[in-house]
Chains A and B, each alone.
Chain A
Amino acid sequence: MKKKLLATVLSAVMAVTMMAGCGSAASSESGVKGVARTEEAATEVANTEVAEAPAADPIPASDEASGDVTIWYYWETAGHQEALDHIIQEFNNQQDKITVQAKYVPFADFKKQLSIGASAGELPDLVILDNPDHASYAAMGIFADITDRFDVSSYYPGPVNSCTLDGRLYGVPFGSNDLVLFYNEDMLKDAGCEVPTTWDELLDVAKKTTKGNVYGFAHCALQNEEGTFNFLPWVWSTGQTSYEINSEGGIKALEFEKSLVESGAFPKEAINWTQGDTMNQFISGNLAMMINGTWQIPTMREEVPDLNWNVAPIPQDKQQASGLGGENYAVIAGGNEEAAIAFLQYATSGDTCLYMMDHMGYISSDSRIAENQFKGDAVYQVFVDEMQYANARGPLPEWPDISDAISLAFNKVITGESAPADAAAEAQATIDGILGN
């Protein structure tokens, strides 16, 4: 009798656990629905905006290109999703052979979904992915070789390089962004500081602007690709490459990070902040300065129109340096390649590309378009100028492992687990192991 009661409760408990499982599945599904809804909303916007939207170039679709094209992307910002949806609607309305559909996959799941899709043979026709991961997937063999099928001669070499593996082109740069120093003009003025241009000045200004709840300076320092992206400009500024951490420059960069943390001007919690979190701290007035990227500008202008902020090149050691970020388009091998390329031709053509870039706050990777972008916008101009000093990560199929070693090193330094020299030596051992040195 007692046993039975216990058994009943146990099974009830298990049933609840299972329901809890379903619950989370249902909620993630509703998340997808939420996106679908914003897509619908975007469609409405698109329909009302058709009249004033830039006229797209005629589509050079080849005869055999037809059928459905599915795109995977990971932008979570509503404005980004709406912009993509807008150009897709335009494309679908202009011709009746190809139907393009986009599916949102959260950034945290994106790589997992691609890997699972690759091993199960269930992939979309086109993906828009983070450029440091491009080489890994190209090496995996899931991207189509489009060397003679798409012309990238007018594109900047850095972004094109990120889609290239062994001299073959496996994608098209979507658009680029880079990192600069954002600063709160009022806070710097109150502390009587000028905009810092060197590491020493940055440390000095950061200390002076730290008071009460306000930290002087921060950048995203997560132990992942995002953190590596924000840390590497220090290394590059010393003249060293991403593969030379245990070098004079690499150690110097780690020591600089350490002095920032020890001065109390750099919050240790930045190791748990995404770039979005860092931006939120900045616009909430908890940060006087931060490193962040181009894509934050539209959000910041909308959220805090009254905040006095400006941008400047990242303070430097020996030379100016920034990180090159951005996404690439990649056509999936064995998918509807022709139709996907036809859409790519359309999406990267003059006005369509310009529309995407402007709505997303990206800099076009096509130099012909980028040169005419953001004319008269002083803030964006700083980013465009910084582009020529922006370094790419990789391209290397094993880049994720290299990046992991680097992010572990600066996390060890920030948390005080290791001295800069020790952390650098350890990271170098891992990197050398991967590169086979």
Chain B
Amino acid sequence: MKKVKEFFRYENAGLLFILPAFLYMLVFVGYPILSNLILSFQDVSVKNLVKGTKHFVGLSNYVTMFQDEVFRKAMGNTLKFTIYCLIFQFIIGFLLALLFNKNFTFAKTVRGLTMIPWMMPMTVTALMFKFMFSTDVGIINYILKSLHLIQQNVEWLTSPRTAMIAVVAANVWIGIPFNTILLATGLTTIPQELYESASVDGASSFQQLIKITLPLLRPTIESVLVLGFIYTFKVYDLVYVMTEGGPVNSTHLLSTYSYKLSFDLFQYSKGSTVANVLFLILFLVGLLYLKITMQGEDE
């Protein structure tokens, strides 16, 4: 009895407050992850989803998937997709943030407008880019031709060599505002006095960028990159609407391939195996993010 009373002392009250959230996470996040993990160790296909025994097959699904040509391609594609997107999103987003940090007229209004790509439903963006990248009537080919950069129309979405470029371009467009807004906010936290004294000492704007802006912006940059990685790595709808993983599997990501295996080909266990690989990678990146933010708080 005394122990119970002790437990409900003021210091432990916090535990009670996080209990609802913890239960919610357990049911709606923990359970699906666990059941997906179990599914990936079984041999569930069209024959035994409802009836029949589901045998445990150990790691054989993982072995099969890592030997699967499309899986390896999807894995490579996902990494390529994420890295290209991050690089371009970050660079363009950073330049825009620097631009909007200058207090010119309409700076705030225009900065607000750059959020539009991010607010737009993913499917709308995907369809829009699908039209823009179409070979014969797409505006991208029209512009490139008018500028005499290309002679022949580029088969953006119908050639396995260029489809990835089109998909990356669409996702970069969506991701730029996220980078811009976070980096712009980060910039406002840097005291103006630093720049003033630096320019008194004769530092060029490039030196100011390297010596003041970048180091002071480091925590923001880290957050932006890690969160960007998480958002980009699990992109599904954009690619599904634009290419469905095609042509010839050239734009399949882990997410789209997992969906295809589970719901088009009825190979549920293999689909969940792919999903688990995706989850594991994101989980590790998530841990990294936690570590970074914790370090930040300790400083």
Contacts and interface: CB of A to CB of B under 8 A. Distances in A.
B262 A115 contact: yes
B47 A400 contact: no
Nearest to B35: A119
20 contacts: A5-B188, A6-B186, A6-B220, A6-B223, A13-B181, A23-B121, A111-B263, A141-B50, A141-B51, A213-B136, A223-B244, A223-B248, A224-B264, A271-B246, A271-B247, A272-B158, A397-B46, A411-B246, A415-B160, A417-B248
A269 interface: yes
Interface string A131-152: 0000011011110000000000
B296 interface: yes
A4 to B, nearest CB: 10
Nearest to A413: B248
Contacts of B268: 115
A204 interface: no
Interface string B166-203: 00000000000010011001101100000000000000
Given A118-B49, A223-B247, A398-B46, 13 more contacts: A2-B189, A6-B185, A10-B223, A13-B178, A115-B263, A136-B266, A140-B50, A222-B244, A269-B135, A269-B155, A401-B267, A408-B248, A416-B159
B297 interface: yes
Interface string A1-42: 111011001100100100010011001000000000000000
Contacts of A118: 49-50
Contact of A224 (B118, B121, B244): B244
Interface of B: 46-47, 49-52, 118-119, 121-122, 130, 134-136, 155, 157-160, 178, 181-182, 185-186, 188-189, 219-220, 223, 243-249, 262-268, 296-297
Nearest to B184: A9
Contacts of A9: 181-182, 185
Contacts of B157: 269, 272
A415 B247 contact: yes
Nearest to A110: B263
Given A140-B49, A408-B249, A6 B189 contact: yes
A255 interface: no
Contacts of B185: 5-6, 9
Chain A interface size, under 10 / 10 to 19 / 20 to 34 / 35 or more: 35 or more
Contacts of A224: 244, 264
A267 interface: yes
A375 interface: no
Contacts of B248: 223, 408, 411-412, 415, 417
B46 A6 contact: no
A362 B119 CA distance: 42
Contacts of B136: 213, 267, 269
Contacts of B243: 272
A21 to B, nearest CB: 10
Contacts of A411: 246-248
Contacts of B178: 13
Nearest to A108: B240
Contacts, number: 117
Nearest to A136: B46
A76 B119 CA distance: 27
A3 B178 CA distance: 18
Contacts of A401: 265, 267
Contacts of B46: 136-137, 139-140, 397-398
A119 B244 contact: no
Nearest to A10: B223
Contacts of B49: 115, 118-119, 140
Contacts of B122: 24
Given A141-B51, A400-B266, A415 B159 contact: yes
Interface in A237-264: none
Contacts of B262: 112, 115
Contacts of A272: 130, 157-158, 243, 246-247
Contacts of B223: 6, 10
Given A140-B47, A415-B247, A269 B263 contact: no
Contacts of A13: 178, 181-182
Contact of B158 (A1, A24, A271, A397): A271
Given A269-B135, A400-B265, A412-B248, A24 B121 contact: yes
Contacts of B118: 16, 20
A385 to B, nearest CB: 33
B246 A269 contact: no
A371 B21 CA distance: 64
A111 B266 CA distance: 9
A268 interface: yes
A224 B243 CA distance: 12
Nearest to B241: A108
Contacts of A139: 46-47
A218 B265 CA distance: 27
